[in-house]
Amino acid sequence: MFSAVQGKNIILGISGGIAAYKTPQLVRLLKKAGANVRVALTASGSRFVSELSLATVSGEAVCRETFPPADVPGTDFTRHISLGEWADALVIAPATANTLARLAVGLCDDMLSACFITLRPGKPVLIFPAMDGQMYRSASVRRNVATLVAGGCTVIEPESGDLASGQCGTGRMPDPEVIADRIRSSLQEIRRDSPLSGRQVVITAGPTREKIDDVRFVSNYSSGKMGFALACAARERGAEVRLITGPVHLATPEGVERFDVESACEMHDAAKPFFATCAVFIAAAAVADYRPEMPASGKLKKTEPEMRLLLVRNPDIVAEFGAQKQPGQLAVGFALETSEGLASAHGKLDEKHLDLVAFNTYDRKTSGFDVDTNTMTLIDRNHRETLLPTMLKTEAARLLIGHIEQLMDPDR
Ligand code: CTP
């Protein structure tokens, strides 16, 4: 799975945020996948994670000072240049507001910033900012992120959740498994020999929001992670990917065209123009089946002791595509059940004219909406079942895309 990382030289730059405590685990994952890892640790980074731990897991001395000790035999006095030239990728995790600023203006006063400047052109730079949510939203951080992106770096939006400040917001560094996977996909060459190569794939993702009034809505807990992982996996296989997503806190995968929508009707309207031309339609969104019939304008007042909401059916997007698809087009849907629902997933395959259904149960810990893993059973159009054990959604997405490739007609 991690063959893209095998034998690659990766510099991991670590700056001074609490998320640095996760980095030895990241180094372990990369080493296990066959990468050569050198760590460039800033002075503040060393306050949060020990040099000894990082040297032990990477099997290499940690680089900190640009001026190495002159009295140690074999010292490479120009390693601030040679390290940048050695690397196939530079990963900065966590990247603090200070490090972002220093990189954006081109300061070069420690090994991390020196490696950033001496990295060979075209080599990927992945930056994982992590800080307090308010700091991340500040004008100066936004400006520095924009400068780095304009300079060709990939800046991965931090995740939302509990922060060290005790507040809840956007600023968390993703888990080491997610970072390792992101590194893998940026080092992976896009496959041109896949039947998906050059074909259009449309993916719906995330929840929808159905307005009750101008300030309230009906929605669900979908995080969009599975749909976004599928977009990455399809892109890796050379597909032209269009991702139509409800409101989520996820960064757009590289090379993917993204359409942001709110309601099921908007999702339907955004998807419909692509029905005729796409090779594969993957419905990973948790689309609300119903919407309030008449959303109120303004804010509803609580004048009555009780309130009744009349809900009406939303268009079923994947069923509509399934009903009108032409030979050679594939429709893929998801079925999420809280308990035994395999039979109903088989039923969905026929009712919605699908070619593949991914059935997953909902237990909130290893499978379901806002978790990084999934346990799925794939059911193909001949009702053959394949069980995918609990694994990262990114891995499950690659296997699912592999299944789709097998169902495709290679001559079209
Ligand atoms: N779907 C869709 N448009 C809708 C509703 C669902 O495209 N308006 C797609 C989903 O993206 C998913 C599949 O259909 O791929 C889920 O089907 P659905 O009938 O909503 O199943 P569940 O909610 O899992 O089950 P049910 O409503 O039958 O309880």
CA proximity to 399, closest of 383, 387, 384, 411 = 387
* pLDDT 10s digits, 251-299: 888 889 999 999 999 999 999 999 999 999 999 999 999 999 999 999 9
Name the closest-CA residue to atom 27, ligand 1.
289
Q: How far is 361 from 340, CA to CA, in rounded Å?
A: 8
Closest atom of ligand 1 to CA, residue 284 = 11
Instruction: Give the integer Cα–Cα distance in Å for 82 and 76.
Output: 9
Residue positions annotated with a catalytic role: 220
Whether residues 177 and 205 fall in one domain: no
Helix (H, G, I), strand (E, B) or coil at 252: coil
Q: CB neighbours (10 Å) of residue 281?
A: 27
In three-state secondary structure terms, 70 is coil
74 C-alpha to center of ligand 1: Å? 64
- The tokens for 231 are 């977009």
Residue type, 55: A
**Domain assignment of residue 193, yes or no:** no
| Ligand 1 centroid – CA 107 distance (Å) | 52
Closest Cα to atom 3, ligand 1: which residue? 316
Task: Return the CA Rg of the chain.
Answer: 24
334 CA closest ligand 1 atom index = 15
**Pocket of ligand 1, candidates 274, 318, 325, 378: which has the most ligand atoms within 8 Å of its Cβ, to mutate?**
318
CA gap 372, 350 in Å, rounded: 29
CA angle centred on 150, ends 146 and 156, rounded to 5°: 60
**Residue from 219, 280, 289, 314 whose mutation best tests the ligand 1 pocket (most atoms within 8 A of CB):** 289
For residue 286, the CA-to-ligand 1 centroid distance in Å is 7
For residues 136 and 17, membership in a common domain is answered with yes
Q: In terms of domains, do 102 and 239 share one? A: no
Q: Which atom of ligand 1 is nearest to the CA of 204?
A: 11
The pair of structure tokens assigned to 359 is 């059935």
Picking from 157, 187, 217, the residue at the C-terminal end of a domain is 187
If you ran DSSP here, which 8-state letter would residue 215 be given? Answer: S
Q: How far is the CA of 221 from the centre of ligand 1 (A)?
A: 14
- CA distances 207 to 221, 299, 378, Å, are 7, 23, 22
- Which CATH number do you get for residue 244? 3.40.50.10300
pLDDT of residue 368: 66
Of 14, 3, 405, the closest CA to residue 185 belongs to 3
The domain containing residue 393 runs over which residues? Answer: 200-408
Indicate the number of domains in the chain: 2
Residue pair 316/352 in contact by the 8 Å Cβ criterion? yes
Measured distance CA(83)–CA(370) in Å, rounded: 38
pLDDT of res. 1: 44
Same domain membership, residue 147 and residue 237: no
319 CA → ligand 1 middle, Å: 9
Residues 26-50 pLDDT 10s: 999 999 999 999 999 999 999 999 9
Looking at the predicted structure, is the pLDDT value of residue 2 above 60?
A: no
Tell the residue number behind the tokens 């994670």, with chain if given.
49
Percent of the chain with pLDDT over 90: 72
CA separation, residue 306 to residues 301, 309, 312, 401 (Å):
12, 10, 20, 48
332 and 230 belong to one structural domain? yes
CA distance 51 to 62: 6
Which of the residue ranges 18-27, 261-270, 402-411 would you say has the lowest mean pLDDT? 402-411
Most confident of 99-113, 156-170, 387-401: 99-113
Domain limit, last residue, from 187, 212, 229: 187
Question: What pLDDT digit, counting tens, does each position of 58-97 carry?
Answer: 999 999 888 777 666 666 777 788 899 999 999 999 999 9
pTM of the model: 0.72
Residues 92 and 133 in one domain: yes
Q: Which residue has the higher pLDDT, 336 or 401?
A: 401
Residues 55 and 176 in one domain: yes
Q: Are residues 183 and 204 in the same domain?
A: no
**By C-alpha distance, which of 371, 351, 350, 220 is closest to 360?**
371
Protein residues with CB under 6 Å of any ligand 1 atom: 204, 264, 283, 285, 287, 289, 314-318, 333-336, 348
pLDDT at 385 over 60: yes
* Angle, alpha carbons 78-84-89 (nearest 5°): 160
Q: How far apart are CA 58 and CA 48, in angstroms?
A: 17
- Domain annotation covers residue 194: no
Share of the chain above pLDDT 70, in %: 94
* pLDDT tens digits, one per residue of 180-204: 988 988 888 777 788 999 899 999 9
Give the Cα separation of 129 and 93 in Å (integer): 7
